Amino acid sequence: MTPSSFSVALVALACALCSAQAPAQIAPKPPEAATLKANADMARTLPFANRQDFEDAMRGFIGTVPDALVPGAGPRPAWSMKPYDFLKASEPADTVNPSLWRQAQLNAIHGLFRVTDRVYQVRGFDIANMTIVEGDTSLIVIDPLLTAETARAALALYYQHRPKKPVGTVIYTHGHADHFGGVKGVASEADVAAGKVQVIAPSGFMETAVAENILAGNAMSRRSQYQFGSLLPPGARGQVDTGLGKALARGTITLIAPTSTIDKATEERTIDGVQFVFQLVPGSEAPSEMLMYLPQFRVLNMAEDVTHTMHNLYTIRGAEVRDGNLWAKYIDQARVAFGDRTDVLIAQHHWPTTGQGRIADLLKKQRDMYKFINDQSLRLLNQGYTAADIAETLRMPASLAQEWSTRGYYGTLRHNAKAVYQKYLGWYDANPANLNPLPPVDYARKTVEYMGGADAVLARARDDFRKGEYRWVASAMSQVVYADPANRAARELGADALEQLGYQSEAGTWRSAYLVGAMELRGGVPKIPGGSSSNADTLKAVSNDLFFDFLGVRLDAAKAEGKTMVINWNFTDSNQQFVLTLENSALTHIAGQEAQADATVTLSRATLDAVTLKETSFPAAVLAGKVKIEGNRAKLGELMSMLDTFEPMFPVVEPRK
């Protein structure tokens, strides 16, 4: 199964956010002179006098609730804009890139908005938008946000101002959790099972909705804390914006499987009197994704393929690289098919664009942005430039660089250019010196030794810090910290450098990563519980095949050394059968049964899920008659004893102990 972008990592991250308070933090420091100059210079390079986006973001405003407050299950709200009141200041804070400040102000606008007749959006109640289309007798909800709490509140806001038709259809545009996780806030599983509500998704949705972060989910969850700044308090010296939306909601992530999928490249359907033209765009922003056009209302919904930012060809929390060339082609196909019939373009993040001329301009520039990054990165790599060279060399053309919608608030030109290199050439830059370098700790110790020792490195780095050379100082101090994690002076200076880089960053993701890194250098890894990478809803979407793949990932090879076993698995609910084999410290599986197996386990998938969620155990399930084991029962226990559990809060800016 192919990875997508959010999904289970956000499940784990949201669970951690719900159960933990933010760790105590050392007070952030003020901006240095070099940061003040960098931000002032930025303010002179972009057309800040252009307020069109603010007009667009407020167009059709109907109403909201104070601070967009959504209560949570505990004392902390699931969502609130109150902590972002600092963005109401007339001038950007000197610790925030002025371009990011502008984007953060736009993403702070919240409420119910009329897009056009019978089409509405709730924006600013989660990181994503909920789009509501009024059918003849029911509502069609497109992307019910990240959590059930925020989705329920968004629908309640709609009902305050519009007739209370029941939800009859839910549409998922793609398999990222912020676009499906709130489904049980707008529909119940019972109503879906009874046929009262249909759920429509693009082909391959269930396979990709949770698959991406199962196999690497623990690492992705931890890295997501850096990308989204979830451990930072909101503020001018803390978390400001993700670039794509304000933040991640805290709450319950749910999932209801689709009752119908869109399987053709272009497919037309009429849903409760509303005509839809669906366009599949797999492998663009997500492995399974679709756009949609509503001809009656002349509305084009670009899902997450066209938003008001440069998106990610590579997301820094970790995922497979996306194809910029393919992404550009999908945008152009939508432009040609629907552009001259569209009066309003919407997406599942950010605000609408109106008018055929402006829509055509947006589509062309978004198309050309991804094509430019793809093609020019390939041009340079074919000239022998490395990924780092390309990131330093490549510059957007002025016609794109001056466009607010192509600025790097979520993705960036630098890391997207490196992504193209990675997609085509991988991690190796062809320099044999980099083919098998020393591991990070050994490399750092030798580097510090060659530079004259930690004290000499610190002395030089302090001079460079005063010069504003924060990129180098951060890198040099990382070497000292890896050589000696207890070196307090190196940790502090490294944190100071990362902090200034964060204050200068236009990308919300980069700002968050820098500031979380600074926080952890100063205070260590936060002592908070990690979230589970699965829950009852998402586990249902994990195939038996993927479940056994994940068992292989968890196998501790050292514990398995020299051991062999064969276990048959029979699933009573699906009638699926698998043979799980341990040999050569590798766990493999195939469909079928092995006559000479050490043991045969018969159970339902629901029972296996309950064991996975630690709601029961195999011995308890055997006693309850829910699991039958024939043959050598000890083999199952032996297998379980060889499986690793993953530490969710592993160190990132210092070496593992």
Give the start-to-end residue ranges of the domains of the chain: 8-422, 541-641
303: left (phi over 0), alpha (psi -120 to 50) or beta: left
Distance in angstroms (rounded) separating the CA atoms of residues 367 and 361: 10
**Mean pLDDT score, 367-384:** 98
Report the pLDDT value the prediction gives residue 532, as an integer from 0 to 100.
53
Mean pLDDT of the chain: 94
Report the pLDDT value the prediction gives residue 212, as an integer from 0 to 100.
66
DSSP string, 397-424: -HHHHT-GGGS-SSS-HHHHHHHHHHHH
Q: Can you tell me whether residue 590 is helix, strand or coil?
A: strand
The two structure tokens encoding residue 210: 């949770």
Q: Which of 14-28, 91-105, 184-198, 508-522 has the lowest mean pLDDT?
A: 14-28
Cβ–Cβ contacts within 10 Å for residue 89, how many? Answer: 11
**pLDDT tier, 398 (very low <50, low <70, confident <90, very high otherwise):** very high
Distance in angstroms (rounded) separating the CA atoms of residues 72 and 80: 10
What are the two backbone dihedrals, phi and then psi, of residue 280, each rounded to the nearest 5 degrees?
-75, 135
The two structure tokens encoding residue 140: 């069609």
pLDDT digits (tens, 9 = 90+) for 151-164: 999 999 999 999 99
Report the pLDDT value the prediction gives residue 529, as an integer from 0 to 100.
72
Distance in angstroms (rounded) separating the CA atoms of residues 169 and 186: 10
- Do domains 8-422 and 541-641 share one topology? The answer is no
**pLDDT tier, 213 (very low <50, low <70, confident <90, very high otherwise):** low
**Mean pLDDT score, 231-242:** 97
Rounded to the nearest 10 degrees, the angle between the axes of helix 98-107 and helix 508-523 is 100
**Mean pLDDT score, 519-542:** 80
Report the pLDDT value the prediction gives residue 5, as an integer from 0 to 100.
37
273: left (phi over 0), alpha (psi -120 to 50) or beta: left
The two structure tokens encoding residue 255: 């999932």
- Residue 598, pLDDT > 60, answer yes
**Mean pLDDT score, 234-261:** 97
The two structure tokens encoding residue 445: 């110790």
**Mean pLDDT score, 367-394:** 98
Handedness of CA 405, 409, 415, 416 (dihedral sign): negative
Residues forming a β-bridge with 631:
599
Question: Which amino acid appears at position 354 of this protein?
Answer: T
**Mean pLDDT score, 417-421:** 98
* 541-641 CATH pick, 3.40.50.150, 3.30.1050.10, 3.40.50.300, 3.40.1160.10: 3.30.1050.10
Report the pLDDT value the prediction gives residue 4, as an integer from 0 to 100.
38
**Quick one: which of 469, 538, 522, 526 has its CA closest to 497?**
469
- Residue 533, pLDDT > 60, answer no
**Mean pLDDT score, 132-150:** 98
What is the pairing mode between strands 198-202 and 167-171?
parallel
Residues 6 or more apart in contact with residue 426 via CB below 8 angstroms: none
**pLDDT tier, 208 (very low <50, low <70, confident <90, very high otherwise):** confident
Handedness of CA 590, 594, 597, 603 (dihedral sign): positive
pLDDT digits (tens, 9 = 90+) for 264-309: 999 999 999 999 999 999 999 999 999 999 999 999 999 999 999 9
Per the CATH hierarchy, to which homologous superfamily does domain 8-422 belong?
Answer: Metallo-beta-lactamase domain (3.60.15.30)
pLDDT digits (tens, 9 = 90+) for 568-577: 999 999 999 9
**Quick one: which of 101, 106, 100 has its CA closest to 507?**
100
Q: What torsion, rounded to 10 degrees, do the Cα atoms 132, 133, 139, 141 define?
A: -40
**Residue position matching structure tokens 């580097």:** 447
Residues 6 or more apart in contact with residue 557 via CB below 8 angstroms: 585, 586
Burial letters 4-31, b for 16+ CB under 10 A, else e: bbbbbbbbbbbbbbbebebeeeeebbeb
Q: What torsion, rounded to 10 degrees, do the Cα atoms 408, 412, 414, 415 define?
A: 180
Distance in angstroms (rounded) separating the CA atoms of residues 214 and 552: 12
Q: What is the pTM of this model?
A: 0.94
**Mean pLDDT score, 533-554:** 84
Report the pLDDT value the prediction gives residue 413, as an integer from 0 to 100.
98
Name the H helices within 142-236: 148-161, 189-193, 205-209, 212-215, 217-228
Ordered strands of the 353-354 beta sheet: 266-271, 274-280, 290-294, 299-301, 344-346, 353-354
Distance in angstroms (rounded) separating the CA atoms of residues 657 and 651: 9
- Distance of CA 450 to CAs 150, 151, 455, 481, 493, Å? 54, 56, 12, 15, 20
Distance in angstroms (rounded) separating the CA atoms of residues 96 and 90: 13
Report the pLDDT value the prediction gives residue 519, as an integer from 0 to 100.
97
Distance in angstroms (rounded) separating the CA atoms of residues 144 and 154: 9
Residues 6 or more apart in contact with residue 375 via CB below 8 angstroms: 325
